[in-house]
A = this chain, B = another copy of it.
Amino acid sequence: MKIEKARPYVVKNLKYALNPSSIAVVGASRYPTKVGNKVIYELVKWGYKGKIYPVNPRADEVLGFKAYHTLRDIKDPVDLVFVAVPAHLVRSIVEDAVSIKAKMMVIATSAFKEIGRGELQNDITEYCRKNELPLIGPNLVGMGSPYQHFNCGFIPYLPVPGPVAMISQSGANLLAALGTSQMSHFGMSFFVGLGNKADVDFSEFIEYANEDPNTKCLAIYIEGLDSPEAFVDSCRKVSKPIVVIKVGRSKIGVKAAFAHTASENPNSDAYYDKIIKDAGAIRATTWQEFLDVSLALGNQPALNGDNIVMITNGGGAGLLSCDHFERLGLSLHELKEISPMLEQRIRAYMPMFGSPLNPVDISGTASVIQYKGAFQQAFRDPNVHGVLGAICPTAVTDVLGTAKAAIEVYDSCKELGKPFIMICQGGEECREAIMLLRDHGIPAYPTAEQAVNAMVALYRYGTRKK
């Protein structure tokens, strides 16, 4: 429901959604297949250290925890009330939550506005607002933070810790991102599924993320904005990069977005384009680009100029990259234009048949020492703004050795503030190299175009900052 701008009492209380000392789970079930059971199971599994109060009118114990018949029976303070009971029961739970002075309400239950029950949803929202009890949801999947070992919802994974805060309207896409996080070492600071956004809105999580010390980049998935002014206002206060993906642009998507999270999209895609621009955010088109760009912005500084040097052992990756740079309006410059000295220096690290254009092709025979030398020369040249490296697995390539050398060079050149991005296109050892690089803060990707998308986003962020 519309807000004018982010409400301070909500922003202040969001810490109880992401780092509560105690949680009451209303609808906690004794049966492992039920969602109300999964919530507690996942909390325990991922190491939640606070108090857990299952609430179930017909149980005295759930998963080893003493159960309460109602919220009012809990005599200790409750930070967070998590609700997973059928929609028609929710209103009275909210009243109970207010009466026990809970700090935060999360309603996971579906079947509200998205199936036509707008009145019920609005009634609950108004009640919560009147009582200053912030409500997240309904129709959501959950939230958590790897830094707090906190996984609260119907969520089978906790992401690996890292710099990206993911604020998602969709639960399923959030789950997918959390899975990707574990599998591909995409680090997150916290995550939340907003669902129908009956009360708490994007803007409030955006302001929270700006204060969160673990968050370096905000990744926001939007199906529809109820409060575009508040969104823009909050984004403009943020000193960190923001990446946005907005879906539901298609004619059929408008209907589907309503059925999904009750999002109303009367406005065109161009309307959202303008909002995202006004907000100073970077817009991603595809899901992959959304993740790739967020990873880069979370880990790397802005690119403060267009002198990018690409170093590769494969001409093919180089060509795919320079085509894609041009497609995105940021063509590479020839090495001799960037720095005539660099062309000479880098020749020492390639065979006679290598190519010192840009991409710099140090050839399929490139050794770890040659890579290291070429990377160092590129980083240390004062005319160079950023470095893109690529490893292709020829029969003589030491993929992991090269990744380790890249990490060494990067660590020794970090104070220069130049972005570094890697491509490792190939099989299992490239996958391993990607993980290793990511674990050391270097965004690495399996295809050239993904890496170029990331580098261009760092450039756009640099331009916007100015």
Contact = CB atoms under 8 A, between A and B. Distances in A.
Contact of A253 (B181, B288, B326, B355): B326
Interface string A280-296: 00000111100000000
A317 interface: yes
A114 B353 contact: yes
A64 interface: no
A180 B250 CA distance: 33
A180 B252 contact: no
Interface in A109-129: 110-111, 114-115
Given A175-B392, A428-B179, A259 B316 contact: no
A323 B250 contact: yes
Contact of A323 (B42, B247, B394): B247
A287 B447 contact: yes
Contacts of A287: 320, 425, 447-449
A270 interface: no
A357 B256 contact: yes
A178 B314 CA distance: 14
Contacts of A315: 170, 172, 256-257, 259-261
Interface stretch (A151-159, A201-209, A411-419): A151-159
A394 B171 contact: yes
Contact of A259 (B33, B253, B361): B361
A135 to B, nearest CB: 19
Contacts of A107: none
Contacts of A395: 35, 38, 42, 153-156
Interface string A163-194: 00000101111111011111100000000000
A95 B426 CA distance: 37
Nearest to A39: B395
A113 to B, nearest CB: 11
Interface string A126-160: 00000000000000010000000000011111000
Q: Looking at A355, A428, A431, which has the most chain B CB atoms within 10 Å of its CB?
A: A355
Interface string A310-337: 0011111111101111110001111000
A182 B322 contact: no
A223 interface: yes
Contacts of A375: none
Contacts of A363: 110
Nearest to A245: B320
Given A352-B115, A447-B288, A319 B426 contact: no
A322 to B, nearest CB: 5
Contacts of A257: 315, 319
Contact of A260 (B252, B260, B316): B316
B396 A172 contact: no
Contacts of A253: 319, 322-323, 326
A175 B394 contact: yes
Contacts of A319: 170, 223, 247-248, 253, 256-257, 260
Contacts of A251: 326, 331
A393 interface: yes
A398 to B, nearest CB: 11
A182 B428 contact: yes
A320 B364 contact: no
A173 B316 contact: yes
A249 interface: yes
B358 A252 contact: yes
A48 interface: no
A213 interface: no
A359 interface: yes
Listed from nearest, the 8 A-B pairs whose CB atoms lie closest are: A172-B314, A179-B427, A260-B315, A170-B316, A179-B426, A173-B316, A250-B326, A176-B425
Interface of A: 33, 35, 38, 42, 110-111, 114-115, 141, 153-157, 168, 170-176, 178-183, 221, 223, 247-253, 255-257, 259-261, 285-288, 312-320, 322-327, 331-334, 352-353, 355, 357-359, 361, 363-365, 392-396, 425-431, 446-450
12 contacts: A111-B353, A172-B315, A175-B392, A176-B425, A180-B426, A248-B323, A250-B323, A250-B326, A252-B357, A286-B320, A288-B449, A288-B450
